Amino acid sequence: MLRCASREFGVIEYDTSTLISFPRGLPGFESERLFVPIEREATKPVLFLQSLVSPDLCFLTLPVEAIDPNYRIALSVDDLNVIGIAAEADKSLRCLALVCAGEKGSPTVNLLGPLVINPETRQGVQAIRDDSDYSVQHPLFPGPEAPKCL
């Protein structure tokens, strides 16, 4: 087991075979390519993505199905190539939405650009669509006054 430092979790042990790689990084974090996935019983279904090289960088993500069971995204051929999938292949992929704590304790999730991960190669890409109705800042818990999404 190897070790890396995390501000959130202290020193964590990981196996290189569990790392998730983003060959293109993430927008705004282009040089961050490798992340340690951390799932804790106490915080399920949250999946933390701890940067391997930046102890301060730990993203909080949720599986999209925990937010919207009917969530669908069409991936571009380009994005599929990044994670090593032929366009016509029928694969089950992991799809994670990044959680943003939000200003007034009202967290939002990015459903327009989820992290899509090929579980076989453990390669991921932030798949940003321009033809989707989802939002970059989808409220995780719509308030009572907020208009209901249909």
Partner 1 sequence: MLVIRRRAGESLFIGEGVEIKILEVGASQVKLGIEAPKEVTILRSEVRETQQANQAAARQASPELMAEMLKKLRR
CB 104 within 8 A of CB 131: no
Rounded to a whole number of angstroms, the minimum distance from the CB of residue 128 to partner 1 is 5
15: closest CA among 62, 61, 52, 41?
52
CB 54 within 8 A of CB 6: no
Q: What angle do CA 96, 17, 73 make, to 5 degrees?
A: 20
The label of the residue with tokens 């040089």 reads 31
Rounded to a whole number of angstroms, the minimum distance from the CB of residue 148 to partner 1 is 16
CB 23 within 8 A of CB 115: no
Applying the rule CB under 8 A, the residues between 53 and 112 that interact with partner 1 are 57-60, 62, 66, 98-101, 105, 107, 110, 112
Q: Which of 10, 27, 69, 143 binds partner 1 (CB under 8 A)?
A: 27
Task: Check residue 28 for interaction with partner 1 (CB under 8 A).
Answer: yes
Query: In terms of CB distance, is 2 or 136 closer to partner 1?
Result: 136
Task: Check residue 5 for interaction with partner 1 (CB under 8 A).
Answer: no
Contacts of 99 (CB under 8 A, 6+ apart): 46, 59, 60, 61, 62, 107, 108, 109, 140
Rounded to a whole number of angstroms, the minimum distance from the CB of residue 141 to partner 1 is 6
Query: In terms of CB distance, is 50 or 118 closer to partner 1?
Result: 50
Q: Which residues in this chain contact partner 1 in the complex, by CB under 8 A? A: 8, 26-29, 43, 45-46, 57-60, 62, 66, 98-101, 105, 107, 110, 112-113, 126, 128-130, 136-137, 140-141
